[in-house]
Amino acid sequence: MPKDTETTRIPVENWTNSQLHDTLYAASEVQGLFPDCEFTKQLESFLDMLWDEVHHREDEEDKEAEILETQ
């Protein structure tokens, strides 16, 4: 019997900053190597989602810093 190869997906919100940045770096390398590949084109929406998460985290950190400055 074949083993179940389905992996557990971790929501991007639970990724560490390091995981986010490593994935963005690796994906940009793939884009550079295979710019016309169908996979690379599909990668765009995934990258957009990751960048949205990075920017959301940066906004949250800025808000926390402002709160600490006013206290």
Residue 24 CA to residue 48 CA, distance in Å, equals 10
Closest CA to 17 of 45, 54, 64, 65: 54
State the pLDDT at residue 38.
Answer: 83
pTM value surpassing 0.85:
no
pLDDT tens-digit readout, 18-60? 988 898 898 888 888 888 888 887 888 888 888 889 899 999 9
pLDDT of 17 above 50: yes
Domain boundaries, the chain: 36-71
Residue 41 CA to residue 58 CA, distance in Å, equals 26
**The two structure tokens encoding residue 13:** 């919100």
